[in-house]
Amino acid sequence: MTEDGLGELLGRPVRLVSADLRLGAVAGVYLDERLERVIGLQVSSRDGRARFLPWVASGFDEVGVHVRSALLLLETGELDPYLRRGARLLRTRGELAGLFAVGDGRVLRREPSGGVSTGLAAGTSPA
């Protein structure tokens, strides 16, 4: 499980590992239509354009997110099939509060009681 939660990814740098080059910063998190799996990250790139970074292509460390190739940052148009099926972009810490993800992108929600549940019911607000 991500130690700090998905909300803590917002604003973190996205870097190219091989050159330690900053490509942009995390601006949002895409979740599937049932809010049970992270699809990827919205990255505000250095050229000011929003890009999509698939979750499976993302690596994480104490500084932020890293990728092996800048080619993994896709145009947001690549998301159209997901968005047509109801995928959601969450862009605030409030929307992402209490949400964590394990390595394969499954979303876990920390309950106010301190317990953890897997997934969210369809139509349920993540905040």
The predicted pLDDT at position 85 comes to 85
CA distance 63 to 120: 28
Question: Which tokens sit at 119?
Answer: 């997934």
CATH number assigned to the domain comprising residue 44:
3.90.50.10
Q: Is residue 123 part of a domain?
A: no
pTM of the model: 0.83
The predicted pLDDT at position 60 comes to 92
Q: Is residue 122 part of a domain?
A: no
Q: Is residue 49 part of a domain?
A: yes
pLDDT, mean of each 10-residue run, the chain (127 residues): 78 93 96 94 93 94 93 87 87 94 92 58 43
Q: Is residue 77 part of a domain?
A: yes
> How far apart, in Å, do the first and last CA atoms of the chain sit?
18
Q: Is residue 41 part of a domain?
A: yes
Range of the structural domain that residue 83 is part of: 10-91
Q: Is residue 30 part of a domain?
A: yes
Q: Find tokens 């999509």 and name the residue.
A: 52
Q: Is 94 buried (19+), middle (13-18) or exposed (0-12) by CB count in 10 A? A: exposed
Count how many domains the chain has. Answer: 1
Q: Is residue 74 part of a domain?
A: yes
Q: Is residue 61 part of a domain?
A: yes
